[in-house]
Amino acid sequence: MKKTMTGAQIIWECLEREGTKIAFGYPGGAILPTYDALKHSSIHHVLVRHEQGATHMADGYARVSGGVGVAIATSGPGATNMVTGIATAMLDSSPIVCITGQVGSKLIGTDAFQETDITGVTLPITKHNYLVTKASEIAQTIREAFYIAKSGRPGPVLIDVTKDAQQGTCEFDWESAAPQLPGYRPDLSPDAAHYKQALELIKTAKRPVIFAGHGIMISGAMREVRDFAEKAGVPVALTLLGIGAFPASHPLNLGMMGMHGEAWVNQAIQDADLLIALGMRFDDRVTGNLKNYATKAKKIHVEIDPSEINKNVKVDVALVGDVREVLNELLPHVEATDRKEWFDHIESLKGDSAVRDIQNLPDNGHLYAAHVINDIWRETEGNAIVVTDVGQHQMWEAQYYKHDNPRSLITSGGLGTMGFALPAAIGAKMANPDAEVWVIVGDGGFQMTMCELATIVQERLDINIAIINNGYLGMVRQWQEFFYERNYQATPLLSPDFSVLASAYGIKSSSVTTRADVVPTVRAARKHQGAVLIDFQVEQEDTVYPMVPAGADLHNMIRRPSPIVETAMDK
C-alpha cells in the first residue's frame, strides 16, 4: 500500500533506501521542514560548523567508503558555502549528493530572503543538478541523483528543493520513481578493433610505462592493474590521486610523476616508447609542456569519460570504458615480455637522487617536514588513512608516506582546495571508524576550516592532526622564491598558538620543534584515545624538490642542491 508522505519525509526515506547511513549538514529556514522530519529517520546527521565542511566531509566519506556522500544545507549563503566543496568533488570525480533548501516556489525570482539561484551557480561544477518544486518530484529526483553521481565517471549532483515541495504531500511510490534517463549512457565499452590495436602496441613496445590514475580505485581495478603490470613486465608511474592504486612497495612501482614527481620517473616517461594511461586525464601538473611531452611514445588511454580522450594529449588508441572491465579483456591476451634493458635504463636514471634526498642529508639540527611525514609513515607502518590539504605538505606526503593500500591517501588533487583536509578526514573516519586517520595539513589551510575541530569533538572522533607549521603559505612562498626574486608578499603567516586552540576544544595537543621529539610525540598520539593535535614547527624556508616549473618540459626539473652545497648553505 502506498503511503502519503510529506516531501521532507520522502527525502529521508529515499536517502535510507539509497543506503545512506550518515549525512553532513547545517540547518536553516528553507530546509527546516526536512530537518523537522529527521526525527523519524535512522540516518545519523552530523552537525558541521560550516557548509563547506559538510561537502568536504561527504567527499571524504565517499572516497574512503566507495559509496555516495551526502551533504545538506539551507538556501542562499548555506548553499553558496557549498560551492568550493562541490567543485572539489567535481574535479576529483567524487560522488556526492548535495541537498539544499530553496525559498517557496512562488517566491523564486523575487529576491526573497536567502534566495540564490544555486542550480545556476553550480551548473558548471556539478555532473547534474535539479530544482524541485513539487513533493511528487522528490523521489525520482533523488534516485536519479544517486545513479548519476556514482555511475560512469562519478561526480557531484545537487538537488535544490523548495520549501513548499518539502511541506507538500503525495503518495510515495519507490518502484515507480526509478531513474528515467534515456539520454544518459555511462556504460561504454571499447570496440574490438581498439583492443587489437592496443595489444599490438603493448606487444611491440620496448620501453612502456603504465600511468596509474584515480580511475583505478573508482573502478576497483587494483588487482587487475597489478596482474597486468606483472604479466606484461611494465613499470608503473602514479598520479597524485592514483597513489595507493598500486602498492608503493611493489618492485614495479616507479613512484609519483609530474610537477613534484621523482626526476627519474619523469625522465623515463620522456624516454618511453609507449604510455598506457589508466583512469587519468593528462592534466597539466602531469604533462608539463605539451609540445615536448613524451614525443617518442605511442599512447593508449583507458578512460570512462569520452570527453577526456584527446582533450590534452592526442592518443593513438582510446579504450573508452571502465578500467577494470578493459583490463580483464586485455589480460588473457597480454604476452609476458622480458624488458631487462628498459629496467636497467630506468635504474641508471636514478643517478644521485638518493644522495640528494633530504632523508639522507646530515642532521643540521633543523626540523624538516619530510622528516615528520617519514616518521609518521614508519610509526604507522603505512597503514593509516592520511588526509592532506594542499601545498608543500601535500607533496611531501606524496613523496615520503609510502601507500601500499588503496583509498589511503585522501587529497584535493584537481581543484587544490586549501581547507579540505580537516573536514574530509571527518568523513574518512566516519566511513571507516576502525582505521587510523591522520590529517597532515599546513598552518595556512588548517586555519580555513579549523572550526570543524568542534565537529571532531562532538562526534568523539579519534583523529590525529599534524600541522606542518612553517609560518608561511609555503608553496606560494616557494614560487615567490623561484620565480619572483624572493619577494615574499602576503605569504608570511601569523597563526594562533595551535596547542592552546586545541585545548579550548578539549583536544589533547603538543608542540614539536626538534627532530628527536617527532617519534615520541607520534607514538603518544597513537596511544591516546581521542583526537590529538600536534604543532610541528618546521624549517620555514624549506622547498619541495624536485619541481617542474609551470609550462616547462617534464624532464627540466629543479633539483635539490647536491649535499656539498646544502651543507655549505646551512653553515
CATH of the domain at 510: 3.40.50.970
Which has the closest alpha carbon to 291: 552, 548, 549?
Answer: 552
Q: Which of 147, 177, 207 is the last residue of a domain?
A: 177
For 499, list phi and psi in degrees, rounded to 5. Answer: -65, -40
Check whether the bond before 492 is cis (ω within 30° of 0): no
Q: What single DSSP character describes residue 189?
A: -
Closest CA to 279 of 186, 193, 210, 189: 210
Residue 571 lies in a domain: no
Q: Which domain holds residue 386?
A: 367-537
Q: How far apart are CA 304 and CA 146, in angstroms?
A: 18
- Which one of 82, 475, 547, 557 is the catalytic residue? 475
Residue at 57 is within a domain: yes
Quote the strand ranges of 163-201, DSSP E. 169-172
Of these residues, 13, 51, 303, 397, which one is catalytic? Answer: 51
Question: What integer pLDDT is reported at residue 364 of this predicted model?
Answer: 85
**Based on the domain organization, do 530 and 382 belong to the same domain?**
yes
Which segments in the chain show pLDDT lower than 50? Answer: 565-571
The residues, any chain, with a CB within 8 Å of residue 440's CB and separated by 6 or more, are 373, 376, 386, 387, 388, 389, 393, 394, 397, 401, 421, 466, 468
* Separation between Cα atoms, residue 274 and residue 203, nearest integer Å: 10
51 catalytic? Reply is: yes
Residue 6 C-alpha cell reads as 510529506
443 part of a folded domain: yes
Overall number of domains in the chain: 3
Query: pLDDT value at position 356?
Result: 84
Q: What are phi and psi of 17, to 5 degrees?
A: -70, -25
Residues 39 and 78 in one domain: yes
The answer to whether 67 and 18 are in contact (CB under 8 A) is no
Annotated catalytic, 203? Answer: no
Q: How far apart are CA 454 and CA 502, in angstroms?
A: 10
d(CA 431, CA 44): 12
Residue 19 shares a structural domain with residue 132: yes
Residue 257 identity: M
Up-side HSE of residue 74: CA atoms within 13 Å toward CB?
A: 20
Domain containing 251 — which CATH number?
Answer: 3.40.50.1220
**Ordered DSSP codes for 320-369:** ES-HHHHHHHHGGGPPP---HHHHHHHHHHTTTHHHHSGGGS---S---H
Q: What is the pLDDT of residues 89-121, one digit of tens each?
A: 999 999 999 999 999 999 999 999 999 999 999
13/146 same-domain check: yes
Which residues share a beta bridge with 102?
162
Backbone angles phi, psi at 422, to 5 degrees: -60, -50
Q: What is the pLDDT of residues 308-360, one digit of tens each?
A: 999 999 999 999 999 999 999 999 999 998 899 999 999 999 988 888 888 88
Which of 328, 198, 348, 340 lies closest to 268, judged by CA? 348
Angle at Cα 124 formed by Cα 120 and Cα 128, nearest 5°?
A: 80
3-state helix, strand, coil in the chain (%, to 5): 45, 20, 40
Please indicate whether residue 340 is annotated as part of the active site.
Answer: no
Catalytic residue (one of 114, 167, 458, 537):
114
| Residue 172 sits in the same domain as residue 198 | no
Q: What is the pLDDT of residue 456?
A: 98
CA distance 316 to 130: 38
pLDDT at 568: 39
What secondary structure letter does DSSP report for 472?
B
Tell me, yes or no, whether 162 and 200 share the same domain: no
Position 358 in a domain: no
Q: Do 162 and 233 reside in the same domain of the chain?
A: no
Which grid cell is 144?
A: 536519479
Q: Which of 213, 181, 193 is nearest to 93 (CA)?
A: 213
Cell of 44: 545519523
Residue 186 lies in a domain: no
Query: Sign of dihedral through CA atoms 552, 555, 560, 565?
Result: negative
Does the annotation count 282 as an active-site position? no
Q: Are 455 and 475 in contact (CB under 8 A)?
A: no
Domain end call among 298, 316, 349: 349
Cell of 185: 549512457
Task: Tell me which of 163, 298, 299, 429 is the catalytic residue.
Answer: 163
Cα torsion for 137, 141, 142, 146, to the nearest 10°?
A: 170
Residues 335, 476, single domain; the answer is no
Distance CA 166, CA 132 (A): 9
What is the reported pLDDT for 217?
97
In a domain, 554, yes or no: no
> Are both 386 and 336 inside the same structural domain?
no
The CB density around residue 147, as the number of other CB atoms within 10 Å, is 18
Considering only CA atoms, which of 112, 123, 75, 69 is closest in space to residue 93?
Answer: 69
Question: ∠ CA(304), CA(282), CA(151), 5° rounding?
Answer: 20
In a domain, residue 361? The reply is no
Respond yes or no: is residue 343 known to be catalytic.
Answer: no
- Residue 460's φ and ψ, nearest 5 degrees, are 55, 50
Q: Strand 274-278 relative to strand 157-162: parallel, antiparallel, unpaired?
A: unpaired
| Burial (CB count <10 Å: 0-12, 13-18, 19+), residue 3 | exposed
Q: Are 96 and 150 in contact (CB under 8 A)?
A: no
Would you give the end-to-end CA distance of the chain in angstroms? 82
Residue at 338 is within a domain: yes
**Residue count of the chain:** 571
Residue 534 CA to residue 513 CA, distance in Å, equals 11
Q: Which of 40, 42, 46, 39 is nearest to 19 (CA)?
A: 42
* Catalytic-role residue among 2, 113, 206, 541: 113
CA atoms within 13 A on the CB side of 230: 10
Residues 168 and 274 in one domain: no
Model confidence pLDDT, tens digit, residues 376-422:
999 999 999 999 999 999 999 999 999 999 999 999 999 999 999 99
User: Are 417 and 364 in contact, with CB atoms under 8 Å apart?
Assistant: no
User: Same domain for 166 and 81?
Assistant: yes
| Co-location of 328 and 440 in the same domain | no
Question: Is-contact 427 449, C-beta < 8 A?
Answer: no
